[in-house]
C-alpha cells in the first residue's frame, strides 16, 4: 500500500529540487523516483506530475496535469466554473480526489452539489459543519444504489476553496 505521507513528502522533495532547469531537474526527478521505488512502488515523474503505483495496483497522481479519472460518474456534480484537480488516489474500488477552485460562498457551493446529487437519485446524510474566522468546512455523505460518496468542502474568507471527494462502490 502506498504510504501517502511518504509519497507526499517525496512529491514535495521533487518540487523543491526541480526548481532548476534541464539536467538538474532531470537528476532531481531520477533521485525522487529511485527513493520512492525503494519503497516497492513504481514512480513516474513527468514534469510537475507525479504518479506512484504500489505493488497492489493502487495509484496516486499528484501535481500539474492531473485529471478526473476516466470512470468518474457523470451524475456526480462538480464545483461550478474552473477547478483544478490536485490529486487522485485510486485504491481498489475507492477513489479519493482533491479539487481546488474559487467559491464566492459556502452556501451556494453546497446547494449546487446537494441539489445535483438529489436530482441524480442520491440520499444525502448530513455530517459535520464548522464555521470559523479562518473559513468554513462542510462534510456530508450521499448514497445511491451503486455508489457511496463523501464530500468535504472547505472555503476560506478569500474565497479559495477545496473539495475532497471519496467515491466507493455501494455495499450490499
pLDDT digits (tens, 9 = 90+) for 66-79: 999 999 999 999 99
- 3-state SS track over 108-160: HHHHHHHHHHHHCCCEEEEEEEEEECCEEEEEEEEECCCEEEEEEEEECCCCE
Report if residue 21 sits inside a domain: yes
Q: What is the CATH number of the domain that holds 142?
A: 3.30.160
Q: Are residue 41 and residue 117 in the same domain, yes or no?
A: no
The rounded percent of the chain whose pLDDT value lies above 90 is 56
Say whether pLDDT at 99 is over 50. Answer: yes
Q: Is the pLDDT of residue 17 over 80?
A: no
Domain assignment of residue 70, yes or no: no
User: Residue 87 is part of which domain span?
Assistant: 83-169
Q: Over the stretch 26-68, which tens digit does the pLDDT of each residue have?
A: 666 666 666 566 667 788 888 888 888 888 889 999 999 999 9
Residues 93 and 165 in one domain: yes
Amino acid at each position: 500500500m502506498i504510504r501517502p505521507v511518504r509519497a507526499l513528502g517525496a512529491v514535495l522533495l521533487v518540487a523543491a529540487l526541480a526548481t532548476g532547469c534541464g539536467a538538474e531537474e532531470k537528476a532531481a526527478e531520477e533521485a525522487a523516483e529511485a527513493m520512492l521505488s525503494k519503497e516497492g512502488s513504481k514512480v513516474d515523474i513527468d514534469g510537475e506530475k507525479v504518479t506512484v503505483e504500489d505493488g497492489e495496483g493502487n495509484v496516486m497522481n499528484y501535481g500539474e496535469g492531473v485529471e478526473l479519472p476516466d470512470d468518474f460518474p457523470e451524475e456526480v456534480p462538480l464545483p461550478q466554473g474552473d477547478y483544478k484537480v490536485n490529486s487522485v488516489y485510486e485504491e481498489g474500488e475507492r477513489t479519493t480526489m482533491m479539487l481546488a477552485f474559487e467559491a464566492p460562498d459556502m452556501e451556494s457551493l453546497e446547494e449546487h452539489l446537494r441539489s445535483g446529487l438529489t436530482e441524480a437519485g442520491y440520499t444525502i446524510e448530513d455530517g459535520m459543519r464548522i464555521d470559523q474566522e479562518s473559513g468554513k468546512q462542510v462534510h456530508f455523505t450521499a448514497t445511491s444504489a451503486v455508489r457511496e460518496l463523501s464530500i468535504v468542502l472547505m472555503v476560506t474568507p478569500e474565497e479559495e476553496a477545496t473539495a475532497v471527494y471519496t467515491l466507493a462502490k455501494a455495499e450490499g
